[in-house]
Amino acid sequence: MCKNHPRSKSRSRSHRRHDDGLHWRRSRQSCERAAVVATRRNSAQVTFEDVTVALERIVAGLEKKSRILTPPERRRVAYHEIGHALVAASLPGVDPVLKVSIIPRGIGALGYTIQHPTEDRFVLAASELRNRIAVLMGGRAAEVLIFEGDISTGAAGRSSTRDRYRHRNGDAIRHG
């Protein structure tokens, strides 16, 4: 069991900054994974970077070193991910971006944008829900602008994520 258990008050400040909004089981898993990462570095303390690496592995999966992207693919993925980040940075009520990566991961993602919740939120206004959906669509919008409407299959797959988000949060549908 992890010494800095998520339910204990002795958790490191860097871990508390990262685990807002996580279910306690996932928070426990991230704490334990961060301890493993720190141990592999021969460190006695878990750092902010250890927690970041742990959360990336939990949320996005292992790095796929065998999945090599061509330069045009890397360029497209980079524009797609920066589209998410720019929309998130420009809209109010959206969680700030923690990290943008174009390193392929195990979940089939060629890149990802991680947002960090600043607080636990239980009630969202319709405008905040629309802004969150806009962030999901930011990658597609960037591809439309940069590649003159020629979107990739990665951008097309984002609409299913948006639809799941809308259905999971019935308020998004009710607010219209």
pLDDT in tens, 63-104: 887 888 899 999 999 999 999 999 999 999 899 998 898 988
> Are residues 161 and 114 part of one domain?
yes
Tell me the one-letter amino acid at 108: G
Of the candidates 32, 49, 56, 81, the residue annotated as catalytic is: 81
> Are residues 162 and 114 part of one domain?
yes
Distances in Å between the alpha carbon of 161 and those of 111, 134, 167? 15, 12, 10
Q: Residue 34: inside a domain, yes or no?
A: yes
CATH number of the domain bearing residue 138: 1.20.58.760
> What is the per-residue pLDDT across 7-63, written as a single tens digit (0 to 9) for each?
444 445 544 444 445 555 667 778 888 999 899 989 888 988 888 888 888 777 788
> Are residues 53 and 106 part of one domain?
no
> Are residues 103 and 22 part of one domain?
no
pLDDT on residue 87: 96
On whether the CB atoms of residues 8 and 27 are closer than 8 A, the answer is no
Tell me the one-letter amino acid at 93: G
> Are residues 147 and 82 part of one domain?
yes
> What is the per-residue pLDDT across 143-172, written as a single tens digit (0 to 9) for each?
999 998 888 887 665 555 555 555 554 544
In terms of Cα–Cα distance, which of 60, 61, 62, 2 is closest to 29? 2
The number of folded domains in the chain is: 2
Q: Is 81 a catalytic residue?
A: yes
> Are residues 140 and 106 part of one domain?
yes
In terms of Cα–Cα distance, which of 88, 101, 17, 116 is closest to 60? 101
| pTM over 0.75, yes/no | no
**What mean pLDDT do residues 126-154 have?**
90
Q: Residue 107: inside a domain, yes or no?
A: yes
